[in-house]
Amino acid sequence: MPPISQEGNCLTYRGSNFLKQRLILSCLSGKPVKITQIRIDDETAPGLREYEIGLIRLLDKLTNGTKIELNPSGTSVLFTPGLLHGGLILHDCCIQRGIAYYLDALIALGPFCKNPIIATLKGVTSSKDSPSVDHIKGSALPVLKRFLVVDEGLELKVVRRGVAPLGGGEIHFRCPVRKNLRSIQFQSQGMVKRIRGTVYACKVSPAMANRTVEAAKGVMLKFLPDVYIYTDQNRGKMSGNSPGFGICLVAETTDGVCYGAESISNSKEEGLDPSIPEDLGREAAMKLLDEIYRGGCCDSSYQWLVTLFMALSQKNVSKFLTGPISTYTIHFLQNLRDFFSITFKLENPENDDEEDSLPGAQKVLMTCVGIGYTNIGKRVN
């Protein structure tokens, strides 16, 4: 949805959809954003949710000089971004969303901060409404590395796991800063050469993890011989506040492309039947095969991150091959146009391969000229 108005430099939107996208782009562009009529139709709980307020607080910690104006009912917010500062950040994430909801913002903004980010986030490391920390480590960080070139100082470490709904997990994230991002030409996805995975179990029998591994390997070994899935069984304080288990699989290709997929067990609070480990393992394996079938040079969950870094890269032509574009990425492209006045050329690459012409596997070649975004906080060495 395009902005309903633009007063001077300030963009105005209605509704809570894609709030995170707009706040991230506001911080990068320096343009204030006003979002009105947030959940006004919800009579029981109108306005911003606790996890959205938590994201705004995190962005406030990340920046210097940010101004936030919130009306009493929480249905309207005016966000005026300050300078991206970075540095040491400690943040307790709302357990209504996974840590990844907040980590996305740090990954997108980290390279452009004045100081390298050294963040400690506490909350839910794995939830169904956002990617797990393992998924980010396997799929999002490889995307960031391609644009940074030198990835020294980039680190994501799971200190303590905490599954939904009560969390109790903790992660450490470090991100270096760069003066500019490189432009890229990445049109070859390669062939899948290996599959790696992690099965974690918190406050449940270790047998749950082992059964999940066997079921996932049973599917993946029919596709590829190089499959290794290790277990992360946590006990005591290291296992968070809720029982649960899950699996994250990552497939790596000969050209360094990573595809991720995951499945997480049901919790009592959801009112669903308890998850069966074998079903969970097979579900994750089938999701990964679907992700591989979609193809492209990045995971479908992080197409938006690729488009962001392409738009902000040096003033050269960037080309990137991806699978079918997700709805989330489509809206991100629209928001990029609003904040940076940049548009992408999307086309079907010429390919005679019959497999690539199957329904659901159409590739998209994204092309744009970067705006040459410069990190004004980083001194030139």
CB 144 within 8 A of CB 107: yes
Report the topology of domain 192-294: Dihydrodipicolinate Reductase; domain 2 (3.30.360)
Element (H, E) at 229: strand 227-234
CA-CA distance, 161 to 138, in Å (whole number)?
Answer: 17
Could you read off the pLDDT of 175-220 as tens digits, one per residue?
999 999 999 898 888 899 999 999 999 989 889 999 999 999 999 9
Could you read off the pLDDT of 134-183 as tens digits, one per residue?
999 999 999 999 998 777 889 999 999 988 888 889 999 999 999 999 99
Task: Give me the amino acid identity at 92.
Answer: D
Q: How many residues in total does the chain contain? A: 381
Query: How is residue 45 written in tokens?
Result: 């709980």
Find the DSSP H helices in 244-345. 277-294, 303-312, 327-340
Could you read off the pLDDT of 313-348 as tens digits, one per residue?
999 999 999 999 999 999 999 999 999 999 999 998
**Would you say the pTM of this structure is higher than 0.85?**
yes
Strand order in the sheet with 155-160: 86-92, 115-123, 169-175, 155-160
Domain boundaries, the chain: 1-84, 94-178, 192-294, 296-381
Domain 1-84 has CATH 1.10.287: no
pLDDT confidence of residue 356: 44
